[in-house]
Amino acid sequence: MKLNMNYIKALILVLVVSFLYGFAAERHKSRGISDIKVRFTENENLYVTEQVVNKLLIQNNGADSGIDKETLDLNKVESLLNSHEMIENAEVYLTLDGKLEAEVSQRKPIGRIVGNSSFYLDRNGKVMPLSEFYTARVPLMFGFNESNVSKVYPILQHIKNDEFLTRHITGLKRLKGDKYKIELRELDFDLFFGDSGNVALKFNNFKAFYKKALKENKLDTYKKVNLQFGDQVVCTKK
């Protein structure tokens, strides 16, 4: 009989603990979002602000503080953020203390098209609108539109990844036949690049030419430097 009583007590204890655990779990699920926190993955100027992301998080009842955690659809919230034209990727999750956190990666412009329509080309080679919050310091591009801008992407990507080129190149101009002229900072000669083929070779040739001409104090003696003829640099003096 004593054994049976101990068994019954143990069973009652298990039932009570299970009930309390289930009750606590249910209360945790029904508890509303306590706070919203937005974190950008890189320390940089913002093309989309924290306030804009917060607004996206709470719109369409996606993450309103009055919505309980059981009702919240994280996939829906992520899709909403990723559909924004300035966001490259967003990950949204809930913390144990009821906070909704969003980790946001912005799109990165590498060139700015100037003309009848103005927009950026981003680091993935896609058209990106201008931001009302910040203007990127990237090469200006003339003579381009949405139908032909992708052809110059290999050139811009190479410039972006090279400190020397980034320091000296301020813009690109599209010429006939999808050939390009490069605008330079503080150098008084025209730099013709040709088409978008052999990008690394052409820029390496230009850097070798620049280094040699700088050493010989001849940079100011040229009016035209042409990189489009394979592995040679053709120069025209003033």
Confidence (pLDDT) at 7: 56
Same-domain check for residues 222 and 145 = yes
Look up the CATH number of the domain holding residue 166. 3.40.50.11690
Domain hosting residue 96, numbered range: 32-106
Could you report the per-residue pLDDT of 34-44, keeping only the tens digit for each? 577 888 887 76
Rounded to 5 degrees, φ, ψ at 43 are -85, 100
Same-domain check for residues 158 and 74 = no
- CA dist., res. 62 & res. 115, Å (int): 39
Same-domain check for residues 133 and 166 = yes
Confidence (pLDDT) at 72: 65
Same-domain check for residues 66 and 113 = no
- CA dist., res. 48 & res. 131, Å (int): 7
Same-domain check for residues 41 and 75 = yes
How many CB atoms sit inside 10 A of residue 175's CB? Answer: 14
5: which residues sit within 8 A by CB, 6+ positions away? Answer: none
Most confident range, picked from 19-28, 43-52, 82-91: 82-91
Same-domain check for residues 128 and 148 = yes
Same-domain check for residues 200 and 85 = no
The residue that leads in pLDDT, 16 or 180, is 180
- CA dist., res. 35 & res. 58, Å (int): 11
Same-domain check for residues 157 and 116 = yes
Could you report the per-residue pLDDT of 147-184, keeping only the tens digit for each? 999 999 999 999 999 999 999 999 999 999 899 999 99
Could you report the per-residue pLDDT of 91-147, keeping only the tens digit for each? 888 877 777 788 899 999 999 999 888 999 999 999 999 998 899 999 999 999 999
Look up the CATH number of the domain holding residue 89. 3.10.20.310
65: which residues sit within 8 A by CB, 6+ positions away? Answer: 32, 33, 34, 36, 58
Confidence (pLDDT) at 57: 75
Confidence (pLDDT) at 28: 43
Q: What's the pLDDT band for 32 if we cut at 50, 70, 90?
A: low
Same-domain check for residues 95 and 113 = no
- CA dist., res. 45 & res. 36, Å (int): 21
Confidence (pLDDT) at 8: 58
Q: What would the mean pLDDT of 60-80 be, rounded to a whole number?
A: 62
Confidence (pLDDT) at 97: 76
Q: What's the pLDDT band for 47 if we cut at 50, 70, 90?
A: confident
Confidence (pLDDT) at 37: 81
Confidence (pLDDT) at 194: 94
Which tokens belong to 153? 């992407």
Provide the number of structural domains found in the chain. Answer: 2
Q: Are 174 and 148 in contact (CB under 8 A)?
A: yes
Same-domain check for residues 142 and 102 = no
Q: What would the mean pLDDT of 73-97 be, rounded to a whole number?
A: 86
- CA dist., res. 103 & res. 92, Å (int): 6
The residue that leads in pLDDT, 214 or 24, is 214
Tell me the percentage of the chain whose pLDDT exceeds 90.
Answer: 52
Confidence (pLDDT) at 102: 84
